[in-house]
Structure 1
Amino acid sequence: MIDTDWARDLAQWIRFEQTPGVGNDTGRRLLSAFGLPQHVFDADFEALAAVVPERVARALLAPLPSDTRALIDKTLDWASLPGNRVLTLADDDYPRQLLNISDPPLLLYIKGRIELLRATSIAVVGSRNATAQGVLNAEKFSESLSRECLTIVSGQALGIDTAAHLGGLRGVGSTIAVIGTGADTVYPARNRALAHQIADQGCIVSEYALGEGPIASHFPRRNRLISGLSRGVLVIEAAAQSGSLITARMAAEQGRDVFAIPGSIHSPLSKGCHLLIRQGAKLVDSAQHILEEIGELPSRLPAVKAPAVSGSAPECMVLSALGYDPVDMDTLATRCEIGIAELSARLLTHELDGLVETLPGGMIRRIATS
């Protein structure tokens, strides 16, 4: 049976948030002046107009629109299901760390393990078009941090975000996905299975009403929640103009640590990380560096043993000649003193083994696996 007091209070909060002109800032101003939403709706026009513009005061006193009534009913049904919660600014479970940012949402829609919102968290973000090396770094770093009880926060996008969530799910810290749609919507569709896994083993967080689709302006805004929930932000592969840099900037403004993994000077996806490092972000090349900076206990996990390089001695020589910076086929063939056809065959073997990757433009790069 639905608690009638809970349903009535939540309905008032949803109506309040959905009122035209009531955003986070205006909403907090009204709450500061009148208290809970029901007190706002009980106020007269003169009292409201003394706090907000007249058009907003009129909207607050207008009859409840039918579409808002439908949204309230839908949300109450959703929130009554196991694992689903809607947190208000007045809720004791509302994440304390978000109350300290400049623009906390009036409502948070939660799906999954709400207790993760109280955990010490690290955000891991980066390019949607990540390289194989970037994906591997995101998975390994996130898994290592999660095994030390740090919860991994990311945005459920393709590329680095997906790898971060997968790594986080492998440790006790698990993962939080802050999404730019309603909590009942999966975006991108390719991450449907991942979203279900996070809802079951981790936590999904959204500030957007149920049914909200992937509007472009939602994603930069949700970045403030990714950083706000976290003790620090780790950036893995970001172009010079990147949404990940927005998250890093917001983290710095919120007083969070910013970490960045350096990369090849030839890679466009290293430009953003190198820019952050020049601006004061902490350069890290292992999860241990992050643990030391935030004061957590050093990792006691056994060191990961690098996989043996497959292939014959000549093939190993190809990897040695390749190094870790991108190189074109002609240059590599000259280094190895073999023909292009033979080199292509050996590189194909290494690519199938996950030891090298082909970059845009035909450049070849070795993948560090440990």
Structure 2
Amino acid sequence: MHSNSLSSRELAWLRLSLTPRLGRKTMHRLHQVFGSIEAIVADTTPARLARAGLSPKLAAAIPAAQEERLLAAARRLARGGVRLISYWDADFPPLLAAIPDPPALLYVRGHWPPEPGLAVVGSRRAGAQSRQLTREIARDLAARGVCIISGLARGIDTAAHQGALDADGATLAVLGCGIDQIYPPENRVLFEKIAEVGTLVSEYAPGTPPFAGNFPGRNRIVSGLARGVLVAEAAAGSGSLITAEFALEQGREVFALPGSAHDSSCSGSNALLKQGAHLITEARDILEILWSNLPQAPRTPAAQTPETLSAEDLRVLAPLDATALHIDEIVRRSGLTPMEVSAILLHLELQGSVRQLPGMHYQRVRSG
């Protein structure tokens, strides 16, 4: 359990993190010169900080960090159970520490998962077949004790996290924004579920919006935390291929799902296969390469009983039975808004009460 306030050490790191234009490279340089975060903040006169090569303007900005903003961020993080882990702390993940450009600071919410881990990345606009296969592979790996690592984005990332949760397994989401920001907004339920039973990680200061420039940096952490990277569906020049490049630089295994040669959304992942990535069609293919000795340990969560469902949940479930319904028909029959129905369906999926089928159709899962 995390205390309801940050330690003095965490507050010191938070002050640096909130300083405008002070990034991870400067944090590394400050620590190299002064030896510890305590020594860095012991005397924050600009002349002393300039010994680490900081410009006078940047050196002056550290002690001038707005106290009100610092304390507000600290309260927000403490309420969410967020802890700060620096590169120099004993519990910083060793795999990530060994990459060429490691983060100086991580914001972590949830339970830090055990090894081993597999990163799963792919298109935000992936087809239903790719999403379904990704979910199945992630579920099967998570059932064997593999932590599924992804970026909480739409499409493949979402399918990967959902697959891990289907198996009641470990999953970790690396964010391209502050850990107090939910992006994309439609993944709010998934975000909260991962915060509850998995792990959320960010290297960006609280309040940082999901700027496009953050995501390549996020991707190096996704691959850096994993033993291997699975590219499920990716077009040429996509962010998923950037993650694959990081993986190769970091000495990780790269896997890819094959796609149609006529489908441009699969051109990047098919190119990876031509370049020597492992061709994958099921979880066993990955296990044989990375974790051939993992024990068989399937875990299947029970579906929620009606007694544990809200009135809105039941309004969505009521029209669902053996016959799958399109989401628009569920909206019509339930009388709820499309946004409400989408959020409830995701919640019910994570709880094992419904399953999503291709074409945005949903079917009820009967327990027993």
TM-score normalised to structure 2 length: 0.75
Query: 5+ unaligned residues in a row in structure 2: which ranges?
Result: 299-321, 323-355, 361-368
Q: State whether structure 2 residue 47 is matched by structure 1 residue 51.
A: no
Aligned partners of 2:15 and 2:62 also within 8 Å: no
1:111-260 to structure 2, matched below 5 A, reads 111-114=109-112, 116=113, 118-260=114-256
Aligned-pair CA distance for 1:60? 2.7
Q: Could you tell me which residue of structure 1 aligns to residue 351 of structure 2?
A: none
Aligned partners of 1:288 and 1:298 also within 8 Å: no
SS in 2 for 1:80: helix
TM-score normalised to structure 1 length: 0.74
Aligned partners of 1:83 and 1:113 also within 8 Å: no
Aligned-pair CA distance for 1:107? 1.8
1:1-370 to structure 2, matched below 5 A, reads 7-41=7-41, 42=43, 48-55=49-56, 59-61=58-60, 64-65=63-64, 67=66, 69-81=67-79, 83-114=81-112, 116=113, 118-297=114-293, 300=296, 354=357
Equivalents in 2 of 1:260, 1:18: separation in Å?
Answer: 38
Q: Could you tell me which residue of structure 2 aligns to residue 343 of structure 1?
A: none
Seen in structure 2, the aligned counterparts of structure 1 residues 26 and 63 have a Cα distance that, compared at 3 Å, is closer
Stretch deviating more after TM superposition (148-157 or 13-22): 13-22
Aligned partners of 2:10 and 2:83 also within 8 Å: no
Equivalents in 1 of 2:91, 2:284: separation in Å?
Answer: 31
Aligned-pair CA distance for 1:48? 4.2
Aligned-pair CA distance for 1:73? 1.0
Aligned partners of 2:50 and 2:59 also within 8 Å: no
Aligned-pair CA distance for 1:179? 0.9
Aligned-pair CA distance for 1:35? 1.0
Greater relative contact order (Cα < 8 A, sep 6+): 2
Equivalents in 2 of 1:288, 1:48: separation in Å?
Answer: 53
Number of positions where the alignment pairs a residue of Structure 1 with one of Structure 2: 302
Deviation sequence 1:45-65 (CA, Å, 0-9, x none): 66644431443xx53355733
Seen in structure 2, the aligned counterparts of structure 1 residues 89 and 74 have a Cα distance that, compared at 3 Å, is farther
CA RMSD between the two structures: 2.7
SS in 1 for 2:7: helix
Seen in structure 2, the aligned counterparts of structure 1 residues 298 and 286 have a Cα distance that, compared at 3 Å, is farther
User: Match for 2:153: what amino acid?
Assistant: A
Deviation sequence 1:269-305 (CA, Å, 0-9, x none): 2211111112221111111110011133367479xxx
Higher alpha-carbon Rg: 1
SS in 2 for 1:124: strand
Runs of 4+ in structure 1 deviating by more than 6 angstroms, as ranges, are 1-4
